[in-house]
Chain A
Amino acid sequence: MKDTLITARRKRQEILCFGICFAAAVLINLGAILYFGTPWYELFTQIGYTLVIAVVLYFVTVLVRLVIHWFRKA
């Protein structure tokens, strides 16, 4: 098995990508609060759901980028 090198640039890219996903998840939660008229404190109390949605979105972006990468390579 060979060593894998993750560059600082790549790390910054991934952190930024996850940050965008997290922001999107917060927006989804915000939208749900507005739509269903539930209390504002759910922005904090439902942070677990927000994190789960952020992780799911992040993996979706990973999947999309992998597909694009394979196409370009092919």
Chain B
Amino acid sequence: MTQNQQMSRKDFFHRLGNLTAGAAALSLFPWLEGCTAERERETRGEQARLGVIGTGSRGMFHLAHLIQDPSARIVALCDDYAPHLDEAAALFPDARRYSDYRRLLEDREVDGVVICTPLSLHASMTVEAIRAGKHVFCEKAMAHTQEGLEQMYRCWKESDRVLMIGQQRHYDPKYIKAMELVHGGAVGQVVGIRNYWYRNNDWRRPVPSPELERRINWRLYHEYSCGLMTELACHQLANGSWAMGGLQPEGVCGTGSIQYWKDGREVFDNVSVVYQYPNGVHMTFDSIISNKHFGMGEQILGTEGTIDLVRGILYYEKSPAKSGIRQLLEQIEQGVLSNAAFAGTSWATEDASTDAGIRFADNVTVNDGASSVGAAGDGSRELIHAFCLAVISGKQPGQIVDEAYWATLLALRGDQASRERKYLTI
């Protein structure tokens, strides 16, 4: 398979054109300016020369999109773990290979870098890359510590380089549509935000030899990661500021433990965190990785309705008004049944609404939790394409770094609150 073979510009136009159809959408989601039809025309025929640092599972996921993207050319690959580098190099035989990312940053032919390394390396690598004059796409979360986060943000702010973070929901058509509905008042006043992510697997990757354990399963160790908060919650917490129109929580409390996967890991295998906004709204994140019955969910709860972001469904609180004759027949039916001997209970379980809801997004794919890499159609392809266009044009998509900054900050503070079991201000 050769690069640029799999996807035409027309295909991108179609998908992205749908995202950026209205001026209203652009004012609500300024980062979409980076992938409008106008920007596509402006960059037509040009390619972003990219280097990918970290060619593990997530790096390969992005490479699978980049190989099909006509606006990308992979000129360099870097990984200090040879099997991963070999795997990526097999796809891009013309790309130069590096085992030290600093050498890649010295490569003058590289315009932008895609950083897909363990979390603890994000901040330092991004800062070095920006200082080396490269545009940067860095996987989420932005940083492993608040100091790293501030340093990374400041460094980007003082530069003229493009920075984008792997918060793919911001480019997922169903999330964009959902947020348009929320901001258009479809659910009324937002009164709650509920996020959960349940899996039933140990979150481990196979390790060829014991000394590689911490390098390969870095997600399980504090030295490299904040576990469920930075790897899962970070995605979902971004929905909060998006739905609340930029309003951020003022405090967080939480708890967590290692209750089931007692295999030497250091990060929690279950957490529950609650964020409080200044207007009294709460946002929750709940995760367990030893039961997957409820899967994942991201819900915006309003006085008039509820939006299921993951499945692209809008539910109204009140069912549409019934006709007079139907109401009459239902009253007669209820009257008959209430006289029956078996009826008359004074208390009943308050079941969830049985409203089927209105599906506002097509072709919805939901990650079943088995993959920790990514799901098809989740916005990742559009996101990395937007980065390519940004590298070519040199224009930073609006607000996207601030969104990622807040998502990371909330994840880090949530992790701290759950480990210290305290209420922390943000």
Contacts and interface: CB of A to CB of B under 8 A. Distances in A.
A42 B325 contact: yes
A45 B324 CA distance: 11
A28 B329 CA distance: 10
Interface string B304-328: 0000000000000000010111111
B323 A28 contact: no
A45 to B, nearest CB: 7
Interface stretch (A6-14, A15-23, A30-38, A65-73): A30-38
A42 B322 CA distance: 11
A42 B328 contact: no
A46 B329 CA distance: 12
A46 B328 contact: no
A46 B328 CA distance: 12
Contacts of B321: 38
Interface string B324-353: 111111000000000000000000000000
Contacts, number: 37
Interface in B230-279: none
Nearest to B326: A49
Interface residues of A, number: 16
A35 B325 contact: no
A49 to B, nearest CB: 5
Contacts of A49: 323, 325-326, 329
Contacts of A37: 324
Contacts of A35: 324, 328
Nearest to A33: B324
Name which of A31, A32, A46 has the most chain B CB atoms within 10 A of its CB.
Answer: A32
A45 B322 CA distance: 12
Nearest to A30: B324
A45 B325 CA distance: 11
B249 to A, nearest CB: 44
Contacts of B328: 28, 31-32, 35-36
B329 A36 contact: no
B367 to A, nearest CB: 44
Interface string A23-54: 00000110111111110001001100110010
B329 to A, nearest CB: 7
A34 B326 CA distance: 13
B410 to A, nearest CB: 47
B154 to A, nearest CB: 62
A31 B323 CA distance: 12
Nearest to A47: B325
A64 B153 CA distance: 85
Interface in B178-212: none
B353 to A, nearest CB: 22
Contacts of B326: 46, 49
A59 to B, nearest CB: 17
Nearest to A29: B325
Contacts of A31: 328
Contacts of B325: 28-29, 32-33, 42, 46, 49-50, 53
A-B pairs with the 5 shortest C-beta distances?
A: A32-B324, A38-B324, A36-B324, A32-B328, A33-B324
Given A36-B327, A46-B326, A49-B329, 17 more contacts: A31-B328, A32-B323, A32-B325, A32-B327, A34-B324, A35-B324, A35-B328, A36-B324, A36-B328, A37-B324, A38-B323, A38-B324, A42-B325, A46-B323, A49-B323, A49-B326, A53-B325
12 contacts: A29-B325, A32-B323, A32-B325, A34-B324, A36-B327, A36-B328, A38-B324, A42-B323, A42-B325, A49-B323, A49-B326, A53-B325
